[in-house]
């Protein structure tokens, strides 16, 4: 999916993007890009926004500079979302606890599909490996 198409999709439900570099170039680590994000990820983040009714700001997408792997940013499976009280409250009340992440002890939660929501120190790492309800 192109960055422009993905941006149009997320903005249609009130999701915003934030980039420290004020740019969207996938090859620049200070940008926030949705270039080559998976369509299922866009579907899932839109659904999350609609169900949680929380303000949502994407702070990390498919741009270089993030950890790589099968279900990572570079393969279009993972988004970083700004940490807010609203999102924390929604996740902790509605999703299943899934222990802690091995490398840093961050709290993990999973939805009914098996997608992961990890509370990192200043953001949510959201890893969408499964489809969501439409």
Taking only the tens place, the pLDDT of each residue in 91-134 is 999 999 999 998 889 999 999 999 999 999 899 999 999 887 75
The confidence band for 63, taking pLDDT boundaries of 50, 70 and 90, is confident
Contacts of 65 (CB under 8 A, 6+ apart): 29, 30
Q: Rounded CA gap, 5 and 66, in Å?
A: 22
Has residue 16 been placed in a domain?
yes
Q: Rounded CA gap, 82 and 99, in Å?
A: 21
Has residue 120 been placed in a domain?
yes
Instruction: Domain count for the chain, please give it.
Output: 1
Domain, as residue range, for 77:
3-127
Whether residue 1 is predicted with pLDDT greater than 80 in this model: the reply is yes
Has residue 133 been placed in a domain?
no
Q: What is the model's pLDDT at position 132?
A: 79
| For residues 72-90, average pLDDT | 89
Has residue 113 been placed in a domain?
yes
Q: By C-alpha distance, which of 52, 70, 66 is closest to 14?
A: 52
Q: What is the model's pLDDT at position 80?
A: 94
């Amino acid at each position: 999916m192109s960055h422009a198409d993905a941006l149009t999709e997320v903005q249609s439900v009130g999701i915003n993007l934030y980039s420290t570099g004020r740019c969207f170039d996938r090859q620049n680590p200070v940008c926030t890009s949705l270039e080559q994000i998976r369509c299922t990820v866009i579907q899932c983040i839109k659904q999350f926004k609609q169900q949680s009714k929380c303000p949502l700001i994407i702070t990390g997408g498919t741009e270089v500079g993030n950890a790589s792997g099968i279900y990572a940013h570079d393969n279009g499976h993972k988004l970083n979302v700004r940490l807010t009280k609203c999102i924390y409250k929604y996740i902790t009340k509605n999703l299943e606890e899934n222990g802690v992440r091995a490398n840093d002890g961050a709290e993990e939660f999973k939805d009914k599909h098996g997608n992961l929501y990890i509370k990192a120190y200043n953001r949510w790492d959201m890893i969408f490996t499964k489809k969501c309800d439409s």
